């Protein structure tokens, strides 16, 4: 059975200065097979992250030079306005962004291969992930400088949200699954410490086509009382 391509629904995000907790809202639509993805750029250690009170499943994390980046997801979230809440072990700067999708596979084929890169001196990082041709590459990045150029211009990445501040920045987006391998990249306007995480996700199975069978009996040539003949039918289907 073919799968359907995941569809972007909504995004949210916020930046928090010298706080141990942070909260922002994301509005999740009523589509089937929903998922919310969360990316955090932070200084202190992450101790909790939830969407509508449900713990986020970690996809990947990178850490270097006192800067960290986490990417995770929650499957089958509720609809409506949901709170994305993060908690750190000490006060510091952290930025959280999120994106919601429908048509996301809800079983163990949700994710492909996780790929991540730590900080470096180049202003472009590229991550290649494995996923289905009808899936998406989900992409998260963070940095100490303004992301500026966002997703790499040489790819067809779509940046769904970016929150920038002087201390910590984060962005989240996607790469259409035009092949079993998606390549995603981020660009920064200044070389500094920045992190990138990517994951390939698969679409949910396409809904089964509706239909049914109606069985009709010919009563020609038979002598059956009308009441008995009527009893042989229910909802337009012969019993």
For 179-200, the pLDDT digits (tens) are 556 666 666 656 566 777 878 7
The pLDDT tens digits of the residues spanning 122-140 come to 556 666 666 666 778 787 8
Distance from the first to the final alpha carbon of the chain: 32
* Residue 238, both tokens: 């012969």
Indicate if the pLDDT at residue 214 is higher than 90. Answer: no
Helices (H) and strands (E) in the chain, counts: 1, 17
Write down the pLDDT at residue 57. Answer: 93
Angle at 210 between CA 209 and CA 213, to 5 degrees: 125
Say what the pLDDT of residue 182 is.
62
pTM for this model (two decimals):
0.78
């Amino acid at each position: 059975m073919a799968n359907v391509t995941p569809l972007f629904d909504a995004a949210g995000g916020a930046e928090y200065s010298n706080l141990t907790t942070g909260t922002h809202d994301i509005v999740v639509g009523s589509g089937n097979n929903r998922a919310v993805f969360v990316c955090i750029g932070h200084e202190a250690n992450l101790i909790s992250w939830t969407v509508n009170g449900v713990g986020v499943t970690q996809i990947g994390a990178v850490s270097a030079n006192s800067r960290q980046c986490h990417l995770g997801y929650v499957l089958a979230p509720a609809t409506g306005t949901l709170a994305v809440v993060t908690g750190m072990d000490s006060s510091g700067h952290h930025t959280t962004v999120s994106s919601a999708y429908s048509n996301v596979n809800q079983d163990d084929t949700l994710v492909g291969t996780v790929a991540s890169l730590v900080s470096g001196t180049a202003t472009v990082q590229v991550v290649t992930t494995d996923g289905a041709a009808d899936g998406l590459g989900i992409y998260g990045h963070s940095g100490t400088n303004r992301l500026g150029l966002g997703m790499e211009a040489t790819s067809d990445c779509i940046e769904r949200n970016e929150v920038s501040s002087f201390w910590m920045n984060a962005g989240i987006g996607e790469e259409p699954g035009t092949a079993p391998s998606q390549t995603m990249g981020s660009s920064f306007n200044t070389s500094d410490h920045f992190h990138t995480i990517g994951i390939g996700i698969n679409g949910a199975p396409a809904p089964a086509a509706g239909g049914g069978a109606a069985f009709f009996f010919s009563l020609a040539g038979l002598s059956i009382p009308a009441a008995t003949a009527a009893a042989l039918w229910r909802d337009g289907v012969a019993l």
